Structure 1
Amino acid sequence: MTKRPAALLRGCGRLLLGMEWDPVLARAAVVHLISGASFSTFWSYAGVWAIEALGATTGQVGVMFLLSAVLSPPAAWLGGFVSDVVGRRSVLVMSTGIQSLLILGLCLVGHSAAWGIALVVVAGVVWAPGRSAVNAIVADVTPPERHDQAYAALRTANNLGVVVGPPLAALLLFLGDWTAFVLGIALLGALTCGLAVRLLPRDRVRGHRGGTAAQTARVVLTDRSLLLLLVATLLGFMVYMSFETVLPVVAVTSFGFAPETWGLLYAVNPVVVLLFQMPLTRVTRSWPASVTLSLGVLLMGPPFLIFLVSHHMAAVVLVVLVFAFGEMLWVPTMQATVARLAPPHLHGAYLGGYTGSQLLAWMVAPLTGLRLEEALGERAIWVFFTALSAVSVVAGLAAVRRRHRTARGEGDGHRIDDRGSHRLAARTADRADVQPSVHPAPSPEKSS
């Protein structure tokens, strides 16, 4: 690559990532951007497609989403384990490639609701390991003190894809029909797969050798700090998913907003994240992780209490804006905290647990929230999710405190601060009777 294109590429990377240039992180962000524009758009339209193209009933669509949500969390965790052994790129390529083929297969199902729904469910399950692999790549290629910025950069890229995706889907439907839509999504998925092959390295961390899957699972499942963090992640993402899945229903059915009005209000969220994620992360990078996690989730849950006194549009806009800043604080910090806790050779397993908790929340939040509305009324929803945010804070603080105690006990006097190193990989590997792989230090980065 000549100097001028290389400099241009680095400049685009800095603009996108909001941090100093890291070639692998920039390439992972590009892959994540394209996948966000394709697969997230597909899932936004999957229910409508099933009803209009296949003639499926709303009940069948509900079963489709339920099955995908039930099967995806274990697939995400398994994918993380596998990526520790065979490499991140292999899992990501297989995941995106197979999902693209399954989506392409939707063109062949005709009007068979059963076959179409089955393919959609399997497509959702096979993408889950790819999400775990992407999260693990970030942990592999950035030093622990830069994890927050790196995960924030990945979110920025994904939100850019989310902003671009729906207009692209609308264009495909305008130019053609549902077949054109499915073909377009499948082609974008194939592009994601091709870019992963072309841009991502085979491995930054080679899989550990000598340990069985059961031994590795025992290490993960007996790490109480991780389990507490996963509880905090599950509850925090239930609050997050209440904004994504419950609030739209309540806004239309109880607040009296037209669907298109809510669509415009919701569109504020990804735009705010796209504009402010990286600046906010730079401002808060010196904050202790416990403070950032606690403040973030408390900016997501308690603002819902405003709906106990007002359903006015101004109240909804205020909640949307405050929630956006809460998620910008909480999501990348939680990812970074899990990544720091993981030994380098188990990044995939630990972050697979994080991804699995996120996907489980996608199922549990709407089931519990909408059931509460049916049984106790709309006001009970906001009290419930506010309480969940408080419990998430307690679980997160307990995990951080326990990590400190463990690190002091195992580190033989080494100082571990709130945003510091993960547990000693060697001792964790000994517990599983496996040896950690060599983790080459990333190249030095200048301050951004």
Structure 2
Amino acid sequence: MSLFKTYAGLSRDIYYLCLARTINSTGDFIFSLITLVLTLQMGMSVVSAGIFVSMAALISGPGVLLGGYLSDLIGKKTIIVSGQILSALMIMSCSFWSGTMTIGYLLIAVMFFISITRPAYNALIIQLCPEEKERKSAFSLMYLGANLGIALGPLIAGFFIKDYVHIVFLSIGTVFLISTFIIWKKVHVGASDEQATQTSIRELGHHTQQPQGEQQPHGKQQHQERQQPGQPKHKQARSPSRQQQGSESLPSPLFPMLLKNPLVVFFIVVSFLNYFIYMQYSFSLPLQMNQTFGEHGAAYYGSVMTINAISVILLTTLVLSATRNFTALNSIAAGALFYGIGFGALYLLGDWPQFAIVVVSTVLWTIGEILVQTNINLYIASRVPDSHQGRFNGLLLFVGCLGYTLSPYLTGLFIRSVDMKSVWIIILGISLFYAICMVLLWYIEKNATNNRGIDSPDYSKSV
């Protein structure tokens, strides 16, 4: 399937949103920037710089939770614009504090405001794409663009960061402002979408006692009503009265929705394994490169990151085309298998220290990355109303922060208890368990749907 055909037919708002995310991601390497600035510019020890990086990682957790709540409260676009403007101003101000510890604290604050925007991006895509097919393509395009920006940004900044760090700060801030301007002027969230969200809140209250599965016909009916030809979109939802607007000024409670969606909660909790496994590329993999290739380990690891970036750009469309008939859960399960095989292959370096093994391994776990990361939001997207999308995406990202934070520590314990190469067998086992959990969840949903005699909607289809 061609690149054009894969991403054709999306709304103009989605294209602008993905363009803004791509531009924004060129400056989205704050973790690396904190380390480089504190060590290269200020001569701080690696341990001390690591404390700042850990603080930035920890503050991301509350950031995504707050961002999810505020997205449902005051709007996704508002949160993205506000968060990116504050991030831009703070990171540009770093150019005036060069050589002081203030830079470290400012970059931590930048990381907090960037994390606030993350659930808003996911929720806004869901809001702008009523059709599941559009969501698949939109999430895929967003993922591809973000990886392209992440690949280019550090490469360009690397030429200036040692001697002209103030230029890096000003450039990243400018990039953030350009991205924000595009979203502010070109991405339109109509009033009809807000009315539809208010209607979903009211109707949700009338069905709070129904099991999760029994809401599907109602959701499907709403979806069909939105597609009736010739029907103006603003007529899909009744305009709420002033009294209703006042009572709905705050998002409806999250906890009742969690109780009504135990399978979604299970999915979010188990997704911890995805982030735990994926973090191996930035912790265990460079350690393995150093152990296997000695003083050339850093250079080999840089090559691995280049192979990963090229594989993402070249293989995303092909992989998603090959798995277009998979459900989202099946795609994630397949991705987990590729994680396991890819990382597990590094066990062979203990007996055959050949870089060719690393190359094959990188391509395999990159395929797993593509399958998991482009489908992980789809499962939640059609099982949660718009009124809760921000908070559910915030919860998923919060679990991701826990995975990223705990993975290096727990993996370090594994390495100390056994040895380096045996860790990859452990990661293989965790990946297989993650895949089994996804298949089990798919089976439970399929069985429940068949027992109710309800046609399974297409929302579970993969990208």
TM range (shorter): 0.7 to 0.9
8 A Cα contact 1:400 1:418, kept in partner = no
Matched, 1:248 2:286: yes
Q: Return the index of the structure with the highest Cα Rg.
A: 2
8 A Cα contact 1:109 1:116, kept in partner = yes
Residue range with higher mean Cα deviation, 395-404 or 299-308: 395-404
Q: How many residues align?
A: 405
Alignment partner of 1:258 out of 277, 283, 297: 297
Matched, 1:88 2:76: yes
Is the partner of 1:309 in helix, strand or coil? Answer: helix
| C-alpha displacement of 1:407 | 6.0
**In the alignment, which residue of structure 2 is the partner of 1:8?**
none
8 A Cα contact 1:91 1:130, kept in partner = yes
Matched, 1:269 2:308: yes
Matched, 1:283 2:322: yes
**In the alignment, which residue of structure 1 is the partner of 2:438?**
396
Say what the alpha-carbon RMSD is for the aligned residues: 2.7
Alignment partner of 2:332 out of 293, 299, 304: 293
**In the alignment, which residue of structure 1 is the partner of 2:188?**
201
Q: Deviations over 1:106-145 (max 9, x none)?
A: 22334332x2222121211111121111111211122124
Q: Deviations over 1:328-356 (max 9, x none)?
A: 11111111112122112222122222222
Aligned partners of 1:349, 1:146: CA distance in 2, in Å?
A: 22
8 A Cα contact 1:33 1:157, kept in partner = yes
Aligned partners of 1:71, 1:222: CA distance in 2, in Å?
A: 29
Aligned partners of 2:90, 2:42: CA distance in 1, in Å?
A: 16
**CA 290–214 in structure 1, closer or farther in 2 if over 3 Å, else same:** closer
Q: Deviations over 1:419-448 (max 9, x none)?
A: 449xxxxxxxxxxxxxxxxxxxxxxxxxx9
Q: Deviations over 1:282-339 (max 9, x none)?
A: 2311122332111111101233222222231011001001111111111111111121
Q: Deviations over 1:344-403 (max 9, x none)?
A: 222212222222222322212222223322332202321222222123223323443454
**CA 260–348 in structure 1, closer or farther in 2 if over 3 Å, else same:** same
**In the alignment, which residue of structure 2 is the partner of 1:179?**
166
8 A Cα contact 2:276 2:406, kept in partner = yes
- 1:168 is aligned with what amino acid? I
**CA 389–345 in structure 1, closer or farther in 2 if over 3 Å, else same:** same
**CA 14–289 in structure 1, closer or farther in 2 if over 3 Å, else same:** closer
8 A Cα contact 2:72 2:391, kept in partner = yes
**1:3-18 alignment runs, 5 A limit:** 15=4, 18=7
- 1:237 is aligned with what amino acid? Y
Alignment partner of 1:77 out of 60, 65, 68: 65
Is the partner of 2:310 in helix, strand or coil? Answer: helix
| C-alpha displacement of 1:413 | 4.5
**1:329-340 alignment runs, 5 A limit:** 329-340=371-382
Is the partner of 2:273 in helix, strand or coil? Answer: helix
- 2:142 is aligned with what amino acid? L
Is the partner of 2:382 in helix, strand or coil? Answer: helix
**CA 307–415 in structure 1, closer or farther in 2 if over 3 Å, else same:** same
| C-alpha displacement of 1:151 | 1.1
TM-score, normalised to structure 2, is: 0.80
- 2:73 is aligned with what amino acid? V
- 2:266 is aligned with what amino acid? L
- 1:101 is aligned with what amino acid? L
**In the alignment, which residue of structure 1 is the partner of 2:274?**
236
Residue range with higher mean Cα deviation, 350-359 or 135-144: 350-359
- 1:338 is aligned with what amino acid? I
Aligned partners of 2:46, 2:268: CA distance in 1, in Å?
A: 32
**In the alignment, which residue of structure 2 is the partner of 1:6?**
none
**CA 245–17 in structure 1, closer or farther in 2 if over 3 Å, else same:** farther
8 A Cα contact 1:96 1:127, kept in partner = yes
**CA 165–317 in structure 1, closer or farther in 2 if over 3 Å, else same:** same
**In the alignment, which residue of structure 2 is the partner of 1:428?**
none
- 2:79 is aligned with what amino acid? V
Is the partner of 1:39 in helix, strand or coil? Answer: coil
**In the alignment, which residue of structure 2 is the partner of 1:440?**
none
Aligned partners of 2:321, 2:160: CA distance in 1, in Å?
A: 38
Aligned partners of 1:122, 1:130: CA distance in 2, in Å?
A: 13
| C-alpha displacement of 1:18 | 3.0
**1:46-125 alignment runs, 5 A limit:** 46-113=34-101, 115-125=102-112
Gaps of 5+ in 1: 1-12, 422-447
Residue range with higher mean Cα deviation, 346-355 or 201-210: 201-210
**In the alignment, which residue of structure 1 is the partner of 2:215?**
none
| C-alpha displacement of 1:188 | 1.1
Alignment partner of 1:32 out of 15, 21, 32: 21
**In the alignment, which residue of structure 2 is the partner of 1:429?**
none
Aligned partners of 1:279, 1:180: CA distance in 2, in Å?
A: 38
Alignment partner of 2:158 out of 159, 170, 188: 170
| C-alpha displacement of 1:161 | 0.7
Aligned partners of 2:70, 2:448: CA distance in 1, in Å?
A: 27
8 A Cα contact 1:220 1:350, kept in partner = no
Is the partner of 2:378 in helix, strand or coil? Answer: helix
Alignment partner of 1:354 out of 374, 392, 396: 396
Gaps of 5+ in 2: 199-244
Matched, 1:140 2:179: no
8 A Cα contact 2:76 2:121, kept in partner = yes
- 1:291 is aligned with what amino acid? N
**In the alignment, which residue of structure 2 is the partner of 1:307?**
346
Is the partner of 2:311 in helix, strand or coil? Answer: helix
Is the partner of 1:258 in helix, strand or coil? Answer: helix
| C-alpha displacement of 1:275 | 1.7
User: Identity across aligned pairs (percent)?
Assistant: 16
Aligned partners of 2:299, 2:193: CA distance in 1, in Å?
A: 46
TM-score, normalised to structure 1, is: 0.83
